[in-house]
Amino acid sequence: MKFGILVNEGLYQHQASDTAYQFAKAAIEKGHEVPRVFFYHDGVYNSSRLTEPPQDDRHIVNRWQKLAKEHNIDLVVCVAAALRRGIKDENLAEGFRISGLGQLVEVGIQADRLVVFGD
């Protein structure tokens, strides 16, 4: 089964990103595909290379990067939501790319399920 994932919340102020990551990881481990994760609204903060959590805390941006690299997952950040929050190409973490809502529509059509995390 193919799962598209939509993350609507930021990294550390809401559980949505952690839950989305754990869902994606578990789905892949069970043999499912996750072709794309789309970050929208405050979810775009998941893509910032400026994130530096304390050493004893999880690094959510790094988690997404590693998972995407290992499993060829397209990490897409909504351009309008990113620009509203000051996220541009120059502060985008490696492995993420900025694009439009068409990428969300596309994964919604191509995936068997689109799973939404956050409001």
Residues labelled as active-site residues:
78
Q: Which residues lie closer than 8 Å to 9 by C-beta, 6 or more apart? A: 15, 16, 17, 41, 42, 43, 117, 118, 119
**CA distance linking residue 56 with residue 41, whole number of Å:** 27
